[in-house]
Amino acid sequence: MSIPNILMTRIDNRLVHGQVGVTWTNSLGANLVLVANDQAAGDLMQQNLMDMVVSDGVQTRYFTLQKTIDVIHKAAERQKIFIVCKTPQDVLTLVKGGVPIRFVNVGNMHFSEGKRQIHKTVSVDDSDVVVFRELEQLGITCEIRRVPDEAGEPIAKLLV
């Protein structure tokens, strides 16, 4: 079993939008955007909308979390993979399922009832905090960074 070439994993509650589909993909040199999300995996309309904002020549896959876990190790070496998830909980599910994620870019986690804002674009609730701490304990760096040319900020420092 080969180790998949995962360039980065991003948490973004909007999944793929212009910033992700073009800016991040180009900056990483990714040729495959893998959206690991149970709902998006079954929503063709949402997939079509996301496909429209991905750079030419970049493939997209929309897999459930379980399918991602099942097939990630079959990825070809030439596939430079950029994984996009909706929540930290989804990332933890992938990690516990054996997906070799070492670094998580936290992009957007919108404010909603029961969440507190810890950064311009990131709001968390207690469950998110527990999950981010668990990811850090597993040796996975989680960093808030909206765009590639911005300095990243370790989320651990903001989870007080």
- Residues acting as catalytic residues: 17
Residue 19, classed as helix, strand or coil, is helix
Q: Work out the number of other CB atoms within 10 angstroms of the CB of residue 11.
A: 26
CA distance 128 to 101: 18
E strand or H helix at 44:
helix 44-52
CA distance 152 to 160: 18
Residue 119's closest CA among 132, 129, 110? Answer: 110
104, HSE (Cβ side, Cα atoms, 13 Å): 32
Residue 40's closest CA among 25, 26, 54, 50? Answer: 50
